[in-house]
Amino acid sequence: MSLPEPLPRDYELLSRSELRENLSAFIKNLLLANPDKLANLMYRHDVKQHLFQTALLMEDIDEQAMFMADLVIDRELQKVASRAAYKKEKEAKTKKPRLHE
């Protein structure tokens, strides 16, 4: 049975631990059934390759899956923070200075 990839809304609606559980189950399934697809997904999520390789070296598949889930979650949170900082910076640059009367 193939587990579905968590949806973008899941990243917002679930607690970190719930998301981690769902994502690690999905990743474990890919580790067993389709490691190439897993590698592509890690690339798509912009997970650093050396961290992905570190996870693959772990002996226990559940550890691998949990570690990879953490990598994806952490990377997605970094991207959200980066976008927010960029948006704030962009808004600050576009604000026109007010003239004092």
Helix (H) or strand (E) holding 101: none
Dihedral (CA of 10, 16, 18, 21) sign: positive
Q: pLDDT for 10-64, tens place per residue?
A: 767 888 999 999 999 999 999 999 999 999 999 999 999 999 999 999 999 999 9
42 in Cβ contact with 52 (< 8 Å): yes
Whole-prediction pTM: 0.78
Q: Is 54 helix (H, G, I), strand (E, B) or coil?
A: helix
pLDDT of 2:
67
Residue 76 token pair: 């997605």
Helices (H), 14-96: 16-33, 35-44, 49-57, 61-94
